[in-house]
Structure 1
């Protein structure tokens, strides 16, 4: 494994850091909390201009065609700044599913527009009580002549009000993975939006599909083939979320170290007390370990190696590291760390949110266990409440 960054990767890192410093400061993060759209216009415009919205989209479809390792370098910086917006939902997950689905017509129509930031397509996949596996998809797509009727409820749809279209996972048969992907206009009749509140104050929606009528041409790829495409996109996506978490954890630790130098008690900085110093030493070790595991997973994918085990390991460890480091940071700050005046609570709340979304710890542990015990990488379906 060679993790020495290339000149291009260093340039991508520096460009993203500068962009976020200018357009995704803490003031922007705060302004986007519980915002109905959740998309900073200036940040989005800059990501359009720099081409970052097409980072994983193939060059043949107007993207940059970057490797997962290139993108991990970028996502570390996005995580450091807690950059808000639908860039992951649209340009990584929806675009990734379209690529893996292999539907040339939909790829030609949507991928260039997604890469240019002209179309925002967010996935609608999670439902209540079913977990993260295929059994959790129960929203039905019933054939109706030359159309389908979508009926059911989706939860935790990020940035739904920013979207022009939705990529909906719907059940089209009785088999375990008889699931198809559909492109649905965000303003379709019968589609109802209800904003959900979360501990991270990010932008999520509950969507109710009340006999939403769509043409058969709205289906992406072959019938019943949607889950395989979605699952492949998820394997790649969680590596970049792990990079986001590693970047956030690193920045949270920096904030805490600086606070421990500035805050004095009993005539000396609190960082001089051994108990607190050891907390931060342990956190530094965890952050470095998370970052290394993330980069190993990204490198393996870029080198054409399997990531069935590495991807869930990276997300599991990095998200836990982010949560543990920010919990320690709250302790070092004391009671004031929980107040809205201090920035560390922004990191703490997002760390826990990330741990629960896009495959939570329990599901990731199941995936790792399956890979370790039988080498299959298969999910162990164990439904629980979402």
Structure 2
């Protein structure tokens, strides 16, 4: 039986809607202006995506998401890419939201996902390190247990939209040398952001942590497997954005 690769009428309508919103709230002139804005994205467009339920499009409905399919998400990302829209959607909703949905405790999911899915709070992920590549072996940041959680030390680079984020999900090694993910509040002590200049003029930061307080996401020893599963989904959407 041949595989049906055609979009449904609902998905065609979704594409038209996203294209219209992008054209209205983030035209090319706005994209150019955002190159010099440390925030790096249109808050007007972000608000519209939230009203349409598209920020949490892949997140579970029980936590405020829309529970849409990956094909739906591909449709959305294709239109965002066509309009060259800079947005924290990938790092906040797809990566951070996906990591919390897959690996967080019940309490963490119910605490963090609703505001993330609505767009009220923006998250980012801090994984890659100077010269560390894209493998688990490249993670050298350390997590040390404290009386009320953990403290993190290390340097992360290419952290997208860090200046706009309320929380960062940081990959670090614990006492058992396994990589876990840790939540750091943007206003935490001993957290420093330095904007990186990129060829694309997009919003990326170096993040320096020096015994910065943090909370572990989910169970010990599950962080890297969770990251790999979620990253696979994000790569598919990046490809759709580039079409």
Common fold, TM-score beyond 0.5?
yes
Task: Tell me the residue number matched to 1:100.
Answer: 102
| Counterpart for residue 170 of structure 1 | 172
CA–CA distance in 2 between the matches of 1:102 and 1:37? 27
Structure with greater strand share of residues: 2
- Equivalent-residue separation in structure 1 for 2:205 and 2:211 (angstroms): 18
Residue of structure 2 equivalent to 1:232: 229
Aligned 8 A contact 1:137 1:170 in 2: yes
5 Å matches for 1:50-199?
A: 50-173=52-175, 175=177, 178-199=178-199
| Mapping 1:237-252, distance limit 5 Å | 237-246=234-243
Which of 211, 218, 222 lines up with 1:221 in the alignment?
A: 218
Cα distance in 1 for residues equivalent to 2:12 and 2:66 = 16
| Contact residue 189 and residue 212 of structure 1 kept, 8 A | yes
Give the Å deviation of 1:149: 1.5
Distance in 1 (alpha carbons) for counterparts of 2:149 and 2:98 = 25
Alignment check: 8 A CA contact 1:173 1:224 kept: no
Query: For each residue in 1:190-210, what CA deviation from the matched residue of structure 2 results, as whole angstroms up to 9, or x when unmatched?
Result: 001100000000000001001
Distance 1:189 1:160, change over 3 A: same
Q: Provide the residue aligned with 2:200 in structure 1.
A: 200
**Greater length-normalized contact order (CA 8 Å, ≥ 6 residues apart):** 2
Task: State how far apart, in whole Å, the 1-side matches of 2:40 and 2:7 are.
Answer: 32
Tell me which residue corresponds to 1:33. 35
Q: Which runs of 5+ in 2 are unaligned?
A: none
Of the two, which has the highest radius of gyration? 1
How far apart are the structure 2 equivalents of 1:103 and 1:240? 26
Higher mean alpha-carbon deviation, 57-66 vs 32-41, is at 32-41
- TM-score normalised over the length of structure 2: 0.96
**Which structure 1 residue ranges, 5 or more long, are not aligned?**
247-386
Q: Residues 108-164 of structure 1: CA distance to partner in whole angstroms, max 9, x if unpaired?
A: 111111111111111011101111011111110012333312100010000001101
Task: Tell me the distance in 2 between the aligned counterparts of 1:34 and 1:139.
Answer: 30
**Distance in 2, Cα, partners of 1:191 & 1:224:** 24
- CA–CA separation in structure 2 for the residues paired with 1:227 and 1:56: 21
CA RMSD of aligned residues (A): 1.2
